[in-house]
Amino acid sequence: MHICHVNLASGYHGGENQTLQLIKQQVKEGYNITVVANPQSPFATAVKELGCKVVLAKHFFFQHKKEITGQDSIIHVHEGRAIYWALIQHLLYKVPYIVTRRIDNPLKQKWLSDLAYSHASALVGLSRDIVSKIKSAYPDSTTYCIPSSPVSYPVDAQTVTSLKQQFSGKFLVVHAANMLKHKGFDVSISAARLLEKTHPDIHFALLGDGSERENLTALAAELNNVTMPGKQSNMGDWFAAADLQIHPSYSEGLGSVILEGIGAGLPVVATNTGGIPDIISDNESGLLVPVGDAPSLAKAILQVASNDVLREKLIAGGQRKMKSFDIAHTAQQYLNIYQEFIK
């Protein structure tokens, strides 16, 4: 079986990380894999290191050759613009393709997008919420719900010790994401403001960078319980040093960083939106709070910080929940789809 994965993003974010996880598993299982990737993205370099055949394309108009996909092949699309590459390859060489959609925005039904989605053999959403939006736009489509799988990061004991010393005596709360408006960093800062005087032992580390960082830095300027060290490349160390992860997004396709935090053994408090409830069953595998509600977030943080029994319950529940997100399980689900449509 030959799988042609396509991701033309120029950057490297959660979607690329998740795609790489799936490809790693498929390489491990002996798949014949080609990857069409943007030469500007670190994703292309990472895939090359796996020994996959890599075709470099800056735009979906480029690199359309029959031998790229060949016979007994299916195209697996992982990023918005890549669907148009798959559409062109399909129209030229009759290769079937499936699309994994990772964002929970309503689909824009423009003529080219309609053409690309309607020609796809199957559409996959990472969460029930995404699948619902796909079905709303394309009610006749064949849809599946297959979540992404968590990425595990290395842990350096010396760095973890250093971080714990840096926040000695503190209950360390981490919020890790790209600093975009919908990620809810403003809610985290508002919760920190509510707790600053009453619970100075609770400290917030906001890990990330992006278009909102300047505004957020100004918002948190007077707070003594907030640290903003920027985007971190050693998330394994931060997860190991932290006591709690929060993720108060306004919207979220699934929440891959939540999976990473739970996988690392952290309890999590997040908002009841998008695909997050697919991961967090309230009071079982984490705590859910309303969107944009800083007082509820602050209250939930205090619950976890002050109740060791609850904390251990949430950690244990999170580990049970993680079994359904195991990469071998999700890779098997994709294999079932591949086999159906290659036939």
Q: Does position 343 have pLDDT exceeding 80, yes or no?
A: no
Tell me the torsion sign for CA atoms 232, 222, 296, 293: negative
pLDDT, one tens digit per residue, over 139-183 is 999 999 999 998 889 999 999 999 999 999 999 999 999 999 999
Rounded to whole angstroms, what are the CA distances from 129 to 143, 179, 273, 276, 278? 12, 23, 9, 9, 9
Can you tell me the mean pLDDT for 189-208?
98
Q: Are residues 170 and 287 in the same domain?
A: yes
The pair of structure tokens assigned to 96 is 């079937």
pLDDT, one tens digit per residue, over 121-145 is 999 999 999 999 999 999 999 999 9
pLDDT, one tens digit per residue, over 83-100 is 999 999 999 999 999 999
Q: Are residues 64 and 131 in the same domain?
A: yes
Q: Are residues 133 and 116 in the same domain?
A: yes
* Average pLDDT value over all residues in the chain: 95
* Residue 324: other Cβ atoms inside 10 A: 12
CATH number at residue 293: 3.40.50.2000
The pair of structure tokens assigned to 198 is 């009453």
pLDDT band for position 284 (cuts 50, 70, 90) = very high
**Domain extent at residue 29:** 2-149+326-342
The pair of structure tokens assigned to 180 is 């975009």
169 Cβ partners below 8 Å, 6+ apart? 201
Helix H or strand E segment including 195: helix 185-195
What are 287's strand-pairing partners? 269
CB 58, CB 40: distance < 8 Å? yes
Structure pTM?
Answer: 0.90
At 246 the three-state DSSP class reads strand
pLDDT at 1: 85
Q: Are residues 237 and 333 in the same domain?
A: no
Can you tell me the mean pLDDT for 319-325?
93
Q: CA 258, 321, 156: angle at the middle one, nearest 5? A: 50
Q: Does position 271 have pLDDT exceeding 80, yes or no?
A: yes
Chain centre distance of CA 175: 14
pLDDT at 259: 94
Q: Does position 4 have pLDDT exceeding 90, yes or no?
A: yes
Q: Are residues 44 and 130 in the same domain?
A: yes
20 Cβ partners below 8 Å, 6+ apart? 43, 46, 47
CB 85, CB 60: distance < 8 Å? yes
User: What percent of the chain is predicted at pLDDT more than 90?
Assistant: 91
From 263, 258, 254, select the one nearest 326 (Cα to Cα).
Answer: 263
pLDDT at 80: 87
At 269 the three-state DSSP class reads strand
pLDDT at 15: 86
- Rounded distance between C-alpha atoms, residue 190 and residue 175, angstroms: 13
Window from 5-9, 10-14, 335-339 with minimum mean pLDDT:
10-14
pLDDT band for position 12 (cuts 50, 70, 90) = confident
Can you tell me the mean pLDDT for 283-312?
98
* Residue 244: other Cβ atoms inside 10 A: 23
Q: Are residues 183 and 256 in the same domain?
A: yes
CB 4, CB 65: distance < 8 Å? no
Which letter does DSSP use for residue 205 in this model?
Answer: E
Phi, psi of 180 (to 5 degrees): -115, 160
94 Cβ partners below 8 Å, 6+ apart? none
pLDDT at 46: 95
pLDDT, one tens digit per residue, over 232-258 is 999 999 999 999 999 999 999 999 999
Q: Are residues 209 and 83 in the same domain?
A: no
- Number of domains the chain contains: 2
Q: Are residues 82 and 96 in the same domain?
A: yes
CB 342, CB 72: distance < 8 Å? yes
Q: Are residues 184 and 310 in the same domain?
A: yes
pLDDT band for position 117 (cuts 50, 70, 90) = very high
CB 26, CB 5: distance < 8 Å? no
pLDDT at 105: 87
Q: Are residues 294 and 161 in the same domain?
A: yes
Q: Are residues 218 and 109 in the same domain?
A: no
Q: Are residues 331 and 317 in the same domain?
A: no
